[in-house]
Amino acid sequence: MARLARLRLDDREVERMAAELSKVLDHVARVRELDLKGVPPTSHAVDMAGVMRADEPRPSLPVDVVLAAAPEPVDGGFGVPSPGPGGE
């Protein structure tokens, strides 16, 4: 799970979190006791769909402004390490 979340956890953290999350999951799993057959899911509390804004061109932020907070800008772009041999 930590790998899926791109989060390195050391053994101590894994142990502690497993115990804490088991307790939380035991509690939240009670929702499964409810009879919810035929109930539609709500992913959004306000009923709206397909909201579009006017398709009008407007200026973007300048590249140097966007890159100002990047840890490693390279040639006008965001620099990242090589995916490497173990990369996917």
Q: Is 63 in the site for another protein (CB under 8 A)?
A: no
Number of residues that bind another protein (CB under 8 A): 55
**3-state SS assignment for residue 73:** strand
Q: Is 12 in the site for another protein (CB under 8 A)?
A: no
For residues 49 and 60, the answer to whether their CB atoms sit within 8 Å is no
Q: Is 1 in the site for another protein (CB under 8 A)?
A: yes
**Alpha-carbon span 27 to 21, nearest angstrom:** 10
Q: Which of 15, 55, 57, 65 binds another protein (CB under 8 A)?
A: 65
Q: Give the number of C-alpha atoms closer than 13 A to the C-alpha of residue 78, restricted to the C-beta side.
A: 5
**3-state SS assignment for residue 77:** strand
Q: Is 76 in the site for another protein (CB under 8 A)?
A: no
Q: Which of 11, 34, 57, 76 binds another protein (CB under 8 A)?
A: 34
For residues 17 and 9, the answer to whether their CB atoms sit within 8 Å is yes
Interface with another protein by CB under 8 A: which residues?
1-9, 13, 17, 20-21, 23-25, 27-32, 34, 36, 39-46, 48, 51-54, 61, 65-66, 68-72, 78, 80-88
